[in-house]
Structure 1
Amino acid sequence: MAFFWGDEVEVCSKLDGFVGSHYAGTVVAEYRHKTYAVRYKTLVTEDDECRPLVEVVGEDEMRPEPPKVLASGFALFEEVDAFDNDGWWVGKITGRKGSNYYVLFDKYGEEIAYPFSQLRAHLEWVGGKWVSPKKRVVF
């Protein structure tokens, strides 16, 4: 899929400890060989925390920003994206206490509680389309 200047995207990290996380950004330049400069919305440069990080990434590391999906709650074992450490991480709902949902990140063996506002319905970018996992009964 080709991207263009101004497109809102997410970039998948390949760094150890961050594999599978996605970071929101905007395409600010297009280069040859399906590479793009992306200005991140939440990541900043090491030397100036007021300046957004701009990075050149390959098309295979990018996807369009997912559409907003209205959700009133999440089901047990439903896949969700949790916003943490400036990016979106895929996990599964393991419980709920009050307004917090507990999310298990299988890859890292960690379970963390998040308020509803830091969660979104998980969607997969497959074959150029957003695909939603099967919905379960919300608790």
Structure 2
Amino acid sequence: MWIQEGQKIEIQGIEDGFYGAWFFVIVSKTFSEKCLVKYDEFVNENDNSKHLCGMVQISQLRLVPPNINNTSWVENDVIEIYEFNCWWVGKIIHHLLCETKYVVYFLESSGEM
């Protein structure tokens, strides 16, 4: 199996409002097609010392991608932006020429930033 207990990986959200986003998790226990994970950034609303845990499909998981320090994105590049404790997939739709800022269209939510 490509994942191991204690490994930091990412899980793709399937819930409303988080569909398509990627979250950091730590693998607690592996099974044949599922694993128990602990969310790195999300805690129990009644007890902030306890991280949220859940059983997820292995098909929802991916390795943590490498850091890329690219400062020359172009229109139509597909990127991920870290916002609200997770990664969101978007596409560059406009480069503000006077700055190193971009307008990004988010693929799952159909919103822009």
> With structure 1 as the length reference, what TM-score do the two structures score?
0.70
Task: Give the CA deviation at 1:79.
Answer: 0.5
Q: Do the aligned partners of residues 50 and 95 (structure 1) sit closer, same or farther apart at CA in structure 2, a change above 3 Å counting? A: farther
Tell me how far apart the structure 2 counterparts of residues 60 and 109 of structure 1 sit (CA, whole Å).
24
Q: Do the aligned partners of residues 12 and 106 (structure 1) sit closer, same or farther apart at CA in structure 2, a change above 3 Å counting? A: closer
Unaligned runs of 5+ in 1: 113-139
SS of equivalent residue, structure 1 residue 110: coil
Tell me how far apart the structure 2 counterparts of residues 92 and 37 of structure 1 sit (CA, whole Å).
32
Instruction: Name the residue aligned to 1:19.
Output: 19
Unaligned runs of 5+ in 2: none
Query: Aligned ranges for residues 106-125 of structure 1 at < 5 Å?
Result: 106-112=107-113
Structure 1 consecutive aligned stretches of length 4 or more whose deviation exceeds 4 Å:
none
- Deviation sequence 1:16-50 (CA, Å, 0-9, x none): 222111101111222x3322121222122222234
Task: Give the CA deviation at 1:52.
Answer: 2.0
Query: Aligned ranges for residues 52-63 of structure 1 at < 5 Å?
Result: 52-63=51-62
Tell me how far apart the structure 2 counterparts of residues 23 and 10 of structure 1 sit (CA, whole Å).
5
Instruction: Name the residue aligned to 1:70.
Output: 69
Tell me if 1:34 matches 2:33. Answer: yes
Tell me how far apart the structure 1 counterparts of residues 38 and 95 of structure 2 sit (CA, whole Å).
35
Tell me how far apart the structure 1 counterparts of residues 62 and 83 of structure 2 sit (CA, whole Å).
19
Q: How many residues align?
A: 111
Instruction: Name the residue aligned to 1:94.
Output: 93
Contact 1:2 1:59 (C-alpha < 8 Å) held by counterparts:
no
> With structure 2 as the length reference, what TM-score do the two structures score?
0.84
- Deviation sequence 1:56-113 (CA, Å, 0-9, x none): 211111111112223123111210001112111100112234343221113322111x
Instruction: Name the residue aligned to 1:130.
Output: none
Tell me how far apart the structure 2 counterparts of residues 69 and 43 of structure 1 sit (CA, whole Å).
25
Identity of aligned residues (%): 25
- Deviation sequence 1:110-136 (CA, Å, 0-9, x none): 111xxxxxxxxxxxxxxxxxxxxxxxx
